[in-house]
C-alpha cells in the first residue's frame, strides 16, 4: 500500500512542482544568469557572458587611468539600497508599535468587535495602487485634505507639497505603507495574543499585578514570538516595496527603492542585464531574511 | 469466513521495531480480542491485518493465501474505528453505500444490502441524516453498519467503544456480542484495553505486551491460569496481589509477611518468587483456623456490593482483599485472611507461572 | 475611574476606525464631486454627482480592464486551488523522504520577491508568445498564489482525522477518490479562505501587470488606474481616479466584510501558525 500511495503522491505533486519550476525556479535562474551577461531588452537571445561586468568592472580611459564601474560602485543603486533600508526600518517599527496597540484593543472583549476587526482589514484589502492614489489625492499640495486639516488645526503654517518635495516624499511613501500594512501586522499580533491563555491574566490579577506591569511582564514576553514572526514577515514585504513608490513618487531619487531601480533598469532604461544583476542582489538579501524567518517561526513541517 | 494465519510477523517504524515476531492462528468465525496496555502493539497488529500498515517481515495468510501485498480493499475486511470515522458530509445511507459503490455494485443491490443492515441495527429511520445529527451510540451503529454491508471475511474493531459513556458502552457490548452470534461465518478481531470487553466478548483473548504475545486463551483460562505475572495482573479487577516469596528448606513457599509457609507441591528452585492471590479469592479466616496473611487494616473502600480492604502485612504494597459488604472490617483493626490452595499462583523470577507438578 | 477608562477605550476604538476607514471614505466623497466642488476640501458629503462614474465606466477601456482583472484573478484562483489541493494531499498525508525540504521550498517561494524573477519571467512570457496577453498574468500570478495555497491547504489537510482516510481506504477508495470525494467536501472552508486570499492578491497585483501587458485593453484595473492622467500635473482628473478606485475596491471591501473571520484565520495560518 505504501508504495502505490507514494506513487500517487508523486503524481499529485508533479503538476504543482512543474508549475513552480516554470514560474519561479527557471525564471530566477535565468535572471541570475542575465546578471552575468550583456543582455538587452531587445536582444535577449544574443546575450553573451561577461562575468562580473555588471557588478564591478574597470573602465580604462586608454591613457593608463580609468574608473570603476558597475553596480557595486553605482551611487544610484546604493541610494536605492539606503532608501529601501530606511523605508523598511521606519515602516516596520511604526507598524509594529501601532499594530500592537490595535491588537491589544481588538483582544479586549467589547460589543461590535467583529465590525471593528472587519474595518481594520479594509486598508489591507484595498489594492496598493489605489491606496497610493487615494493618499496622493489626500496629500495633494493645493487641494489635499491633509494640508487643509493641518492648517485648520494650526499644525501647518503653509501647505506642504508632500509628494513632490524631496524632504517629505519619503515620509509620504511611508505614511501610505503604514496605513496599508498596520492592519495586517495587527492581525498577526492579535493571533499571537489570542494564544495566551486567559487564566494567566486572571492569575496576574489575583496576584495584584497592575495592568501596565502585566503588559510588560506577561503579555509582551508571551506574544514576542508571534511579534517577531510578524516583523520578519513584514520586513520581507517592505524590502520588495514597489507599487507605492512607483505610483506615488515616480522618477524620484529620494524614494527610489531597490525594486523600482530594478524595474526601471530592466524595462525603461534598456539596461536589462544591469537590472538583472541588481535583482540578484535583492534576491540574496531577501533569501537570507527568509531563512531567518523560517528559523524564527519554528514552523511545524510534519 | 476466513482463517487467519500470522507467521512471525514483524513491524518496524524506521529503526524501532514495535512488533517482534508474532505467530497466531485465528479460526474461521472466531471472535478474538487483542488486549494489552497502550503501546503494546495491539492496534498496530490490527492495522497490519487490515493492510493499513505494511508488514516488515513474516507472512500473513487469509485461508492459506498470502495477503502480504494485498491492499485493504482486496483483503475482504471491514473495520470499525475508535472515532467512528464516518464521512461527515455524507448521509447515513451514503456512508454505508460509499464502499459498495466504489466496488461497482448495482444501485438495487446496494439498496438492498443497506436496508438489511439498517434493519439489523435499527437505523432505518435515520438513513437520510448526517453523522453530526446522531448520538454517539447511533454513530457507532452506523460505523458497524458500514462494515456489515461490505459482507467482510474479517471484521476488525479498533477500540470501538472507548468514545462512549459507560452506560452506552455496556449496551453496545451486548449488541456486538449478538452480532457475533448472528454472523457465524465472519471472523472478528477486536482490539481493546478494557478487560471487561475482552472477557465478555472474546472466544479467545490474545494478551500483548511490548509487541509480543504474552498468552493466548479463553477468558477463563486467562483468569484461572495466567501464564505470566503480567497476564495475572492485567486480567481481573482489582488486580491480583503479588507478594514476594522465598522457598524454605522443606520446599515450601514462604510469602513475605505471611503467617506460615505454604506447600504448593511444585518443584521449586530460585529464591525470588512471587505468590499471587486474587482479592476475591481471599476470605476472612475462622477463629482458630490457620490463616495465610495477617495484618492491620489501613483503608476500607466501600463499593456498595463489596468492599475492598487494604491490609498492611509488612510489604511495600498493601494486600487487597475483596469482601462482601456484610463482612466486618474497620480501619485499624487486625484481620486474618486465607485462600484455598488452588487459587494461589506462583511466578518465578522471570515472571512465568510455576505450575504444581 | 471605570467610566473614564471606558470612554478612553471607545475613543481609541474610534481613532482606529477613523485611521483605517477615512481614506476610503474620502475617496468615495471625492468620487461624487466634480467641477469646483472637487477642489474645495470638505469633510462631509455635499454633492451627489455620478458624472465621474459615468465617465469612468461609460467610455474608454476601464470596464474592459475590470473584466480583465476578474478573469485573471478567477483563473489564477481556480488553477491554484486545483494544483494546491492535490499537492497538499501528498504533502500533508503521505510520508516520503524530502517532504520537509519540499515544504520549505514552497514556503520560500511564497516569500520570493517578485522583482527577482521579473527578468527571467519576461523571457519565459516572450518565449511562449504570451506577451501582452492575459495568460502571461495568469501564469505569473501563480508564483505567489500557488505556494500560499499549497501551504495553507497543507496545514488544513494535516488536521483532518486520519481515521476518515483509513475508513475510505478500507472502503476501497484510491488516493484520487479520497481527495475528491472525501477530503474536498471537508475542505470547503479552507478552500474558500485560501481562494479569497489568492483572489485579493491577484486582483491587487501591479508589477507583473505593468510589465507583461502593454495595450490599454489588456491592462488590469490597477494598472489602468495608475495610468489615468490629465494633460498636465495640474489637470489630474482626481474625480475620475477616485471613482475608478471605488469601483475596484468596493467588491473587495464587501468580500472582506462578509468573510472577515475566515480571512483573518487564513492570514494568520499563512503567517504564524504553520
Residue B219 has what pLDDT? 95
ipTM: 0.88
- Does a structural domain hold residue A236? yes
B222: exposed, middle or buried (Cβ count in 10 Å: 0-12, 13-18, 19+): buried
The sign of the torsion formed by the CA atoms of C247, C250, C252, C255 equals negative
Q: What is the largest CA-CA distance in chain B?
A: 78
Phi, psi of B26 (to 5 degrees): -120, 125
Please state the domain count of chain A.
1
Give the pLDDT band of residue B188 (cuts 50, 70, 90): very high
Cβ atoms C63, C57 nearer than 8 A: yes
Edge-to-edge order in the sheet of strand B306-312: B283-284, B334-338, B293-302, B306-312, B319-324
Please name the residue of chain B whose CA is at the shortest distance from the CA of residue A4: B71
- Does a structural domain hold residue A289? no
Distance of alpha carbon B68 from alpha carbon B46, whole angstroms: 14
CA distances from B125 to A144, B93, B121, B132 (A): 70, 11, 11, 15
- Does a structural domain hold residue A25? no
Which residues from chain C sit within 8 angstroms of residue B52, using beta carbons?
166, 169-170
Domain that holds residue A224: 75-269
Asked if B50 is an interface residue toward chain A (Cβ–Cβ < 8 A), one would say: no
Distance of alpha carbon C100 from alpha carbon C109, whole angstroms: 14
Asked if B50 is an interface residue toward chain C (Cβ–Cβ < 8 A), one would say: yes
Nearest to B50 among C170, C185, C186 (CB): C170
Task: Single out the residue of B295, B255, B300 nearest to residue B277, CA to CA.
Answer: B255
C41 pLDDT above the threshold of 80: no
Give the pLDDT band of residue C232 (cuts 50, 70, 90): low
Distance of alpha carbon B61 from alpha carbon A243, whole angstroms: 67
Asked if B54 is an interface residue toward chain A (Cβ–Cβ < 8 A), one would say: yes
Cβ atoms C221, C68 nearer than 8 A: yes
- Does a structural domain hold residue A29? no
Report pLDDT digits (tens) over B131-181.
999 988 899 999 999 999 988 999 999 999 988 888 888 888 998 999 999
Fold of C62-227+250-273: MetI-like fold (1.10.3720)
- Using the 8-state DSSP alphabet, how is residue A37 labeled? B
Asked whether the beta carbons of residue B102 and residue C173 sit closer than 8 angstroms, the reply is yes
C-alpha cell at A245: 513608490
For residue A86, give the CATH number of its domain.
1.10.3720.10
Asked whether the beta carbons of residue A300 and residue C274 sit closer than 8 angstroms, the reply is yes
Distance of alpha carbon C190 from alpha carbon C154, whole angstroms: 10
Asked whether the beta carbons of residue A119 and residue C21 sit closer than 8 angstroms, the reply is yes
Task: Single out the residue of C61, C57, C220, C205 nearest to residue C142, CA to CA.
Answer: C205
Share of chain A above pLDDT 90, in %: 35
Strands B306-312 and B293-302: antiparallel
- Does a structural domain hold residue A44? no
Element (H, E) at A182: helix A169-194
Neighbours of chain B (3+ CB pairs under 8 A): A, C
Asked if A4 is an interface residue toward chain B (Cβ–Cβ < 8 A), one would say: yes
Give the pLDDT band of residue A20 (cuts 50, 70, 90): very high
Asked whether the beta carbons of residue C182 and residue B102 sit closer than 8 angstroms, the reply is no
Give the pLDDT band of residue C272 (cuts 50, 70, 90): very low
**For residues C66-94, average pLDDT:** 94
Distance of alpha carbon B246 from alpha carbon B253, whole angstroms: 6
A26 pLDDT above the threshold of 90: yes
CB atoms within 10 A of CB C256: 23
Asked if A5 is an interface residue toward chain B (Cβ–Cβ < 8 A), one would say: no
Task: Single out the residue of C228, C24, C212 nearest to residue C135, CA to CA.
Answer: C212
Asked whether the beta carbons of residue C86 and residue A15 sit closer than 8 angstroms, the reply is yes
Report pLDDT digits (tens) over A160-171.
888 888 889 999
Distance of alpha carbon C149 from alpha carbon C83, whole angstroms: 9
Report pLDDT digits (tens) over C153-211.
998 888 888 899 999 999 999 999 999 999 999 988 889 888 998 999 999 999 999 99
- Using the 8-state DSSP alphabet, how is residue C92 labeled? H
- Does a structural domain hold residue A68? no
**For residues B334-345, average pLDDT:** 90
Report pLDDT digits (tens) over A74-114.
899 999 999 999 999 999 999 999 999 999 888 888 888 88
Residues 6 or more apart in contact with residue B102 via CB below 8 angstroms: B73, C171, C172, C173, C177
- Does a structural domain hold residue A46? no
Distance of alpha carbon A210 from alpha carbon A200, whole angstroms: 13
Give the pLDDT band of residue C274 (cuts 50, 70, 90): very low
pTM (two decimals)? 0.84
Give the pLDDT band of residue B271 (cuts 50, 70, 90): low
Phi, psi of B316 (to 5 degrees): -60, -50
Report pLDDT digits (tens) over B3-40.
899 999 999 998 899 999 999 999 999 999 999 998 89
Which residues from chain B sit within 8 angstroms of residue C181, using beta carbons?
98
Element (H, E) at A232: helix A220-239
Cβ atoms B348, B354 nearer than 8 A: yes
Asked whether the beta carbons of residue B89 and residue C166 sit closer than 8 angstroms, the reply is no
Residue B267 has what pLDDT? 64
DSSP string, B37-106: STTSSHHHHHHHHHTSS--SEEEEEETTEE-TT--GGGTTEEEE-TT----TTS-HHHHHHHHHHHTT--
Cα B119 from chain centroid (whole Å) = 30
Asked if B83 is an interface residue toward chain C (Cβ–Cβ < 8 A), one would say: yes
- Does a structural domain hold residue A92? yes
C-alpha cell at B66: 498470502
B249 pLDDT above the threshold of 80: no
Asked if A119 is an interface residue toward chain C (Cβ–Cβ < 8 A), one would say: yes
Distance of alpha carbon A32 from alpha carbon B290, whole angstroms: 95
Task: Single out the residue of A208, A128, A141, A189 nearest to residue A169, CA to CA.
Answer: A141
Neighbours of chain A (3+ CB pairs under 8 A): B, C
Ordered by where they begin, the domains of chain B are 4-227 (3.40.50.300), 238-347 (2.40.50.140)
C-alpha cell at B124: 432505518
Please name the residue of chain C whose CA is at the shortest distance from the CA of residue B154: C170
Mean pLDDT of chain B: 90
Cβ atoms B302, B341 nearer than 8 A: no
Amino acid at each position: 500500500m505504501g508504495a502505490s500511495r507514494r506513487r500517487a503522491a508523486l503524481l499529485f505533486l508533479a503538476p504543482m512542482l512543474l508549475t513552480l519550476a516554470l514560474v519561479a525556479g527557471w525564471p530566477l535562474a535565468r535572471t541570475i544568469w542575465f546578471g552575468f551577461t550583456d543582455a538587452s531588452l531587445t536582444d535577449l537571445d544574443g546575450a553573451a557572458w561577461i562575468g562580473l561586468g555588471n557588478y564591478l568592472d574597470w573602465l580604462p580611459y586608454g591613457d593608463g587611468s580609468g574608473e570603476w564601474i558597475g553596480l557595486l560602485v553605482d551611487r544610484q543603486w546604493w541610494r536605492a539600497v539606503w532608501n529601501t533600508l530606511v523605508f523598511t526600518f521606519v515602516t516596520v517599527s511604526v507598524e509594529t508599535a501601532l499594530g500592537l496597540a490595535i491588537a491589544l484593543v481588538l483582544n479586549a472583549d467589547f460589543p461590535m468587535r467583529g465590525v471593528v476587526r472587519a474595518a481594520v482589514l479594509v486598508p489591507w484589502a484595498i489594492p496598493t495602487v489605489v491606496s497610493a492614489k487615494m493618499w496622493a489625492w489626500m496629500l495633494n499640495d493645493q487641494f489635499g485634505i491633509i494640508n487643509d486639516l493641518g492648517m485648520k488645526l494650526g499644525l501647518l503654517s503653509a501647505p506642504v507639497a508632500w509628494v513632490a518635495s524631496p524632504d517629505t516624499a519619503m515620509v509620504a511613501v511611508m505614511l501610505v505603507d503604514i496605513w496599508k500594512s498596520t492592519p495586517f501586522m495587527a492581525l498577526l499580533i492579535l493571533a499571537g495574543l489570542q494564544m495566551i491563555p486567559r487564566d494567566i491574566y486572571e492569575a496576574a490579577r489575583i496576584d495584584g499585578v497592575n495592568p501596565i506591569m502585566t503588559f510588560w511582564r506577561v503579555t509582551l514576553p508571551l506574544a514576542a514570538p508571534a511579534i517577531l514572526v510578524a516583523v520578519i514577515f513584514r520586513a520581507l514585504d517592505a524590502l520588495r516595496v514597489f507599487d507605492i513608490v512607483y505610483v506615488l513618487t515616480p522618477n524620484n531619487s529620494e524614494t527610489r527603492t531597490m525594486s523600482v531601480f530594478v524595474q526601471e533598469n530592466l524595462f525603461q532604461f534598456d539596461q536589462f542585464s544591469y537590472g538583472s544583476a541588481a535583482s540578484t542582489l535583492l534576491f540574496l538579501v531577501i533569501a537570507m531574511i527568509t531563512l531567518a524567518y523560517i528559523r524564527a517561526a519554528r514552523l511545524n513541517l510534519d | 469466513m476466513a482463517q487467519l494465519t500470522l507467521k512471525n510477523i514483524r513491524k518496524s517504524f524506521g529503526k524501532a521495531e514495535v512488533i517482534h515476531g508474532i505467530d497466531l492462528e485465528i479460526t474461521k468465525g472466531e471472535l478474538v480480542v487483542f488486549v494489552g496496555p497502550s503501546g503494546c502493539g495491539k492496534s498496530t497488529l490490527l492495522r497490519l491485518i487490515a493492510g493499513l500498515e505494511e508488514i516488515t517481515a513474516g507472512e500473513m495468510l487469509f485461508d492459506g493465501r498470502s495477503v502480504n501485498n494485498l491492499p485493504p480493499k482486496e483483503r475482504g475486511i471491514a473495520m470499525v474505528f475508535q472515532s467512528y470515522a464516518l464521512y461527515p458530509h455524507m448521509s447515513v445511507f451514503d456512508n454505508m453505500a460509499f464502499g459498495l459503490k466504489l466496488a461497482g455494485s448495482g444501485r438495487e443491490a446496494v439498496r438492498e444490502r443497506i436496508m438489511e443492515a439498517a434493519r439489523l441495527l435499527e437505523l432505518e429511520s435515520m438513513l437520510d441524516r448526517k453523522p453530526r445529527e446522531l448520538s454517539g451510540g447511533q454513530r457507532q451503529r452506523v460505523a458497524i453498519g458500514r462494515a456489515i454491508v461490505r459482507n467482510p471475511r474479517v471484521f476488525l474493531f479498533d477500540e470501538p467503544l472507548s468514545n462512549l459513556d459507560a452506560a452506552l458502552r455496556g449496551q453496545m457490548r451486548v449488541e456486538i456480542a449478538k452480532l457475533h452470534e448472528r454472523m457465524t461465518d465472519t471472523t472478528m478481531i477486536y482490539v481493546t484495553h478494557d478487560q471487561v470487553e475482552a472477557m465478555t466478548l472474546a472466544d479467545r483473548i490474545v494478551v500483548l505486551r511490548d509487541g509480543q504475545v504474552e498468552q493466548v486463551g479463553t477468558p477463563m483460562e486467562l483468569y484461572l491460569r495466567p501464564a505470566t505475572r503480567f497476564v495475572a495482573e492485567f486480567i481481573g479487577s482489582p488486580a491480583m496481589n503479588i507478594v514476594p516469596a522465598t522457598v524454605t528448606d522443606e520446599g515450601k513457599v514462604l510469602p513475605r509477611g505471611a503467617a506460615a509457609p505454604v506447600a504448593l507441591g511444585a518443584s521449586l528452585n530460585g529464591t525470588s518468587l512471587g505468590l499471587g492471590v486474587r482479592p476475591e479469592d481471599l476470605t476472612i479466616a475462622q477463629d482458630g483456623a490457620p490463616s495465610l496473611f495477617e495484618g492491620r487494616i489501613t483503608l476500607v473502600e466501600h463499593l456498595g456490593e463489596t468492599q475492598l480492604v487494604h491490609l498492611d502485612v509488612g510489604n511495600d504494597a498493601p494486600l487487597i482483599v475483596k469482601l462482601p459488604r456484610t463482612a466486618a472490617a474497620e480501619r485499624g483493626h487486625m484481620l486474618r485472611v486465607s485462600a484455598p490452595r488452588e487459587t494461589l499462583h506462583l511466578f518465578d523470577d522471570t515472571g512465568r507461572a510455576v505450575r504444581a507438578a | 475611574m471605570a467610566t473614564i477608562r471606558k470612554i478612553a477605550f471607545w475613543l481609541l476604538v474610534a481613532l482606529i476606525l477613523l485611521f483605517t476607514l477615512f481614506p476610503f471614505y474620502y475617496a468615495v466623497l471625492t468620487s461624487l464631486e466634480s467641477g469646483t466642488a472637487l477642489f474645495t476640501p470638505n469633510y462631509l458629503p455635499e454633492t451627489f454627482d455620478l458624472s465621474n462614474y459615468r465617465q469612468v465606466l461609460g467610455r474608454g477601456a476601464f470596464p474592459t480592464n475590470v473584466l480583465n482583472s476578474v478573469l485573471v484573478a478567477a483563473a489564477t484562483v481556480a488553477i491554484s486551488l486545483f494544483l494546491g489541493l492535490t499537492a497538499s494531499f501528498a504533502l500533508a498525508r503521505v510520508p516520503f523522504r524530502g517532504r520537509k525540504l519540499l515544504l520549505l521550498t514552497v514556503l520560500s517561494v511564497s516569500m520570493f520577491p517578485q522583482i527577482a524573477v521579473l527578468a527571467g519571467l519576461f523571457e519565459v512570457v516572450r518565449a511562449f508568445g504570451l506577451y501582452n496577453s492575459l495568460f502571461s498574468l495568469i501564469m505569473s500570478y501563480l508564483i505567489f498564489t500557488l505556494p500560499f495555497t499549497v501551504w495553507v491547504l497543507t496545514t488544513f489537510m494535516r488536521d483532518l482525522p486520519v481515521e476518515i482516510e483509513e475508513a475510505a481506504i478500507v472502503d476501497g477508495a484510491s488516493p484520487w477518490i479520497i481527495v475528491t470525494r472525501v477530503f474536498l467536501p471537508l475542505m470547503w472552508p479552507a478552500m474558500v479562505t485560501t481562494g479569497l486570499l489568492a483572489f485579493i492578491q491577484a486582483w491587487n497585483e501591479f508589477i507583473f501587470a505593468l510589465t507583461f501587458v502593454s495595450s490599454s485593453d489588456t491592462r488590469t484595473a490597477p494598472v489602468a488606474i495608475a495610468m489615468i492622467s490629465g494633460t498636465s500635473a495640474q489637470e489630474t482628473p482626481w474625480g475620475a481616479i477616485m471613482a475608478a478606485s471605488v469601483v475596484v475596491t468596493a467588491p473587495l471591501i464587501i468580500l472582506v466584510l462578509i468573510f472577515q473571520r475566515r480571512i483573518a484565520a487564513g492570514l494568520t495560518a499563512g503567517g504564524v501558525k504553520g
